[in-house]
Structure 1
Amino acid sequence: MRARKTTLAALAVVAGLTLTACQNDGDDAAQTDPSSAASASASGGGSGSSGPGSSGPASGGSDKGGSDSGKDTAAGAGADQSGKTANCRTSGLKITAIDNFIDGDPQGTVAVEMKNTSGQDCVVAGFAGVDLKTDAGTISAERKGAPADPYVLKNGKTIAFGINYPLNETGGSGVRVTGLVVTPPNETKPVILAWPGKPSLPVTDGSGSPVTVGPIGSAGQGG
């Protein structure tokens, strides 16, 4: 009998250990079950989530109430990378030329107007490049006068400069002008315009340019 009781007790111990091992295996399986982890991630909206119902900021975003939202860190309109107003460009200017000669003047005058059509303010200063196309070749205008300080040309506003040339009073055909080429200051792209002044210049001995150009603003500025 004693031997039987000992055997039954041993079986009871083995059964208890087997039951405990099965329970532990079940707990471990629950902890490592991938479907359980995926369910937690979907319901909890993990870190950086920007989905509906999420109260946290989106990944890489700010949690300061959106104070940086939509902030433009680039240079402002009409400004270069340093924040200064950019120079006027040929593409943003409407350039026209008109005859500005007044009877009795010793020289002919053409006024060139530059209207800012770029949609933003720009800076213009110094001298424009001026060339007259003629049947005898190109005549480059000489600069005359002191340039003014840089001028902020507001969008939609106009500024002008003058071109002076000698009148052909010799009675001959002279040098016929066929076109006007204007290059804004600090630019390399020119515009070609019809010449609005007198049709010809007197023939010179070539000792100097008979045509002069004044600084920007020398012919006044309009609205």
Structure 2
Amino acid sequence: MNTARHRSTLLAAAGTVVALSLTACQSDGDGTSSAPTTSATVASSPAAAAPTAGKATGTSGSTGSTGSGGSAVSKGSAGSDGASAGSTGATGERVSASTAVCTAKDVRVTAATQDGPPYTHIVLTARNTSGHSCRLTGFPHIQFLESHKKDVPAVAKSKPATPVVLTAQAPAYALVKLSDGGLDEDNEPVSAFSVMLDGDSTVMAVTAPGSDGIAVDPAKALTGYWTPELRNGADDF
């Protein structure tokens, strides 16, 4: 009689353990959650892919401020890009609309030739040399010649879908067309040119690549938007 009662007690205890195990398994299945997604393009070094270009020879430096065309006409539309509030970048850093816009003090701009002769394009690289992240908005505002005081027009299809946020030491790129490569073009030699960033009136002097500089036809020159990497199709012009 005592043996039967003891067995009943053991079975009841075993049933309780099985029930608790099933309950724990169900709780684990129901508690699974998905990770948040990123809504901003974050360029971090060395993760950003470099474009196919020659050795960069140009450096940028502050040469003062100006009120010329680079800070007026085209900056309004390009500078309106803002990072989505509360989004998380690829590096785990919090990215929001409060992330400061990159200025000439934050980045170093260099120029390199792209492809082989005739050199019809160059690539500008803007590297974040500050110790903090910043948003690089719009496109570079370029003036090649003193005799041609208009910014080089931007190609709309090269505009990235999301804001470009540069972490410390991260680069961004912009493809720039100089000419069509024809012999009958009105090309002019350029050894250095000016670049301005969206939201900053500081003029940066950039040395043209190559020992002989570059040949520019102001009527054919175009620039792309700043992007973390050059993209086939969107940056072909």
- TM-score, reference length from structure 1: 0.51
Deviation at 1:137? Answer: 4.0
Q: Secondary structure at the match of 2:178?
A: strand
1:1-51 deviation per Cα after TM superposition (whole angstroms, max 9, x unaligned): xxxxxxxxxxxxxxxxxxxxxxxxxxxxxxxxxxxxxxxxxxxxxxxxxxx
Deviation at 1:196? Answer: 2.0
Deviation at 1:184? Answer: 1.5
Task: Give yes or no for the alignment of 1:130 onto 2:145.
Answer: no
Greater relative contact order (CA < 8 Å, ≥ 6 in sequence): 2
Matched with 1:84 is: 98
Matched with 2:128 is: 116
Deviation at 1:218? Answer: 7.5
CA–CA distance in structure 1, aligned partners of residues 139 and 202 of structure 2: 14
Alignment check: 8 A CA contact 1:175 1:201 kept: yes
Alignment check: 8 A CA contact 1:163 1:214 kept: yes
Q: Secondary structure at the match of 2:182?
A: coil
Residues 216 and 199 from structure 1, CA distance in 2 versus in 1: closer, same or farther, beyond 3 angstroms?
A: closer
Alignment check: 8 A CA contact 1:133 1:178 kept: no
Residues 139 and 145 from structure 1, CA distance in 2 versus in 1: closer, same or farther, beyond 3 angstroms?
A: same
Deviation at 1:167? Answer: 4.3
Deviation at 1:138? Answer: 4.2
CA–CA distance in structure 2, aligned partners of residues 180 and 103 of structure 1: 21
Q: Secondary structure at the match of 1:152?
A: strand
* Letter of the 2:142 counterpart: V
CA–CA distance in structure 2, aligned partners of residues 167 and 218 of structure 1: 26
Alignment check: 8 A CA contact 2:112 2:209 kept: yes
CA–CA distance in structure 1, aligned partners of residues 226 and 185 of structure 2: 33
Question: Any stretches of 5+ residues in structure 1 without a counterpart?
Answer: 1-77
Deviation at 1:100? Answer: 1.2
Number of aligned residue pairs: give it: 134
CA–CA distance in structure 1, aligned partners of residues 97 and 214 of structure 2: 45
Q: How does 1:126-165 map to 2 (within 5 A)?
A: 126-133=138-145, 136-138=147-149, 140-146=151-157, 147-148=159-160, 149-165=162-178
CA–CA distance in structure 1, aligned partners of residues 195 and 177 of structure 2: 14
Deviation at 1:212? Answer: 0.4
Q: 2:207 aligns with which of 175, 191, 194?
A: 194
Q: Secondary structure at the match of 1:190?
A: strand
Percent of residue pairs bearing the same amino acid type: 16
CA–CA distance in structure 2, aligned partners of residues 199 and 84 of structure 1: 39
Task: Give yes or no for the alignment of 1:96 onto 2:107.
Answer: no
Question: Any stretches of 5+ residues in structure 2 without a counterpart?
Answer: 1-92, 232-237
Alignment check: 8 A CA contact 1:131 1:182 kept: yes
CA–CA distance in structure 2, aligned partners of residues 138 and 83 of structure 1: 33
Asked which structure has the greater CA Rg, the reply is 1
Deviation at 1:166? Answer: 1.0
Alignment check: 8 A CA contact 2:178 2:215 kept: no
* Letter of the 2:227 counterpart: G
Residues 220 and 168 from structure 1, CA distance in 2 versus in 1: closer, same or farther, beyond 3 angstroms?
A: closer
Alignment check: 8 A CA contact 2:101 2:135 kept: yes
Matched with 1:179 is: 192
Deviation at 1:180? Answer: 1.5
